[in-house]
Structure 1
Amino acid sequence: MTRNQASPAVSVSLLSGPTGTGGIDDFELFHARSALDRFRRRLGRQGLLDLLAADIEEGNAFLRESALASDGGFEGGTTVLVTQGLTAGEFLAWMEEAFAGDERVLLAAHPEHYVMAPGADGFHVVENIGPHVCSFSMGGWGTDAMAWAKDADARLPEADFPHKMSSNLFLADGTVIGRALTQFGDTADGFTAHLTVYVPTACAHDVLEHHLRHFAVEFRNWIVAAAAARA
């Protein structure tokens, strides 16, 4: 086979062995989460910060430069999730409690969560924004007080989406490197979540696409965790 030839398609099926439900992908995800949780617990918050110090410095520098080059301009996108079997109020009550101090369940929602804890200047987050590991704070989370959010194109009617949270994402020096606007409205059998994120216009579109996927993963897992806690 030459280098330019495509590899033959391979299909692998599980015929027998494990007695639990799910397939090979489910087993791999379970073990990956278990291993990641072990490393997080062994390292602890400061250990993770020390381990990622160089990545954070590089990521913060990239986002600071992108914000300055964008001169206050942001590009936004929205991930929409539909949930059955749980109301928006029930989910947000769980979320408020988790954000008040249950860092482990917050970290578990996404492989690229490293720190999620209350801080002096807001809620402190260390996670990926695109390929860049960034340490930032969220200010105004849980309120609808941000002027930009009141005028945002993504803002939905209050009658249908009464639960709204908005925030600036900012570095320790005050540089705003992103924004978030999340909106929740009940349906006949659950709720719909509109999760909007904004990144500096100077960032490549891949950075926005990455965070739209990030939203889908973390909020799906938070919703599942909220439902499990309620059961």
Structure 2
Amino acid sequence: MVDPIEIRAIVGEEKVSREQVRAWESRRSGAVLGKFAARLGHRGMAELLPDRALDELLGAPLDVQRSALTTLKIRLGHAGVYAMLRRELTLSERMARMGVAVSRGRAKHAATRLEVPNYSAERFATWFGNLTATNAEADMIDACPDHYLLRGLPDGRQEVVETTGGSPAASRFLVDYSRTENLTIPIDPSYPIQIAGQALLDDGLVIGGVRHQFRDRKGALEALLTVQFPGTLPARLIRQHQWHLACEFSNWMIAAAPVAATS
């Protein structure tokens, strides 16, 4: 499938092609499809996707896999996602608490840059902000195979269940976009559009956060996308989350093209 817009990506310090980002997404898509099949079994998969066999899906184009995964997650529902991942979520919360304690305030950042010619930063940021405000769950989940549940809560926070970077276990946390006091990600004043918030557990423990910065420059959107983690997180997981950022935001920018593209 040909993308309707051009997207240039820098993952960490490395320029990567759109084909490389799609290849990363394809690998994660196969892994997540395999997890669903292992956890739900043949009958469960057939109930949720009656017209698709797993072998057929694993050999299908990425865009078909992406659509099938989103359908699986939406049909499984929130309770089903919690049940399928209950052991992983328990483990990841324990590890997050330990990581925060051991890090003693130190943090690491996963950063990815995207550039999209003939595209409006302001229009995209408005579209992106509305995903949580309008609780557009399918659009939020569709952007990355590792998204299991993303929804806006009545108090304005966002609930996230996802596999972060290359972690072996999915995690659950909340993002509060009204709080940034614990973020160590620097503000770049040359990026006038800021979307930032703290990631926390249900009891309020801050485990990280995000600062996504956008600007228009020479007719192109430039995005500096950064996620904050506890300082003990291994470099390999930081690197994988840089690819995660490239994947999800590239797909969101493609989805927003009808309103954000300028030509």
Aligned residue type for 1:116: L
Answer yes or no: is the 8 Å Cα contact 2:150–2:158 preserved in 1. Answer: yes
Q: CA deviation at 1:41?
A: 2.7
> Of residues 224, 228, 244 in structure 2, which corresponds to 1:198?
228
d(CA) in 1 for partners of 2:67, 2:144 = 12
Q: Deviations over 1:18-73 (max 9, x none)?
A: xxxxxxxx952022113212211321122111111111111111111111111111
- Within a 5 Å distance, the mapping from 1:34-183 to structure 2 comes to 34-100=67-133, 101-119=135-153, 122-130=157-165, 131=167, 132-139=169-176, 141=177, 146-149=180-183, 152=184, 154-157=186-189, 160-183=190-213
TM-score normalised by L of structure 2:
0.70
Answer yes or no: is the 8 Å Cα contact 2:109–2:185 preserved in 1. Answer: no
Q: Match for residue 9 of structure 1? A: none
- Within a 5 Å distance, the mapping from 1:14-29 to structure 2 comes to 28-29=61-62
Aligned residue type for 2:159: H
- SS of alignment partner, residue 61 of structure 2: helix
Name the structure where strand makes up a greater proportion of residues.
1
- SS of alignment partner, residue 256 of structure 2: helix
Identical amino acids, percent of aligned pairs:
29
Larger radius of gyration: 1
Residue 217 and residue 62 in structure 1: after superposition, are their counterparts in 2 closer, same or farther (change >3 A)?
A: same
d(CA) in 2 for partners of 1:227, 1:153 = 28
- SS of alignment partner, residue 147 of structure 1: coil
Consecutive unaligned residues of structure 1, counting only runs of 5 or more, are 1-25
Consecutive unaligned residues of structure 2, counting only runs of 5 or more, are 1-58
Q: Match for residue 4 of structure 1? A: none
- Aligned residues between the structures: 200
Answer yes or no: is the 8 Å Cα contact 1:198–1:208 preserved in 2. Answer: no
Q: CA deviation at 1:120?
A: 5.7
TM-score normalised by L of structure 1:
0.79
Residue 76 and residue 106 in structure 1: after superposition, are their counterparts in 2 closer, same or farther (change >3 A)?
A: same
Name the structure where helix makes up a greater proportion of residues.
2
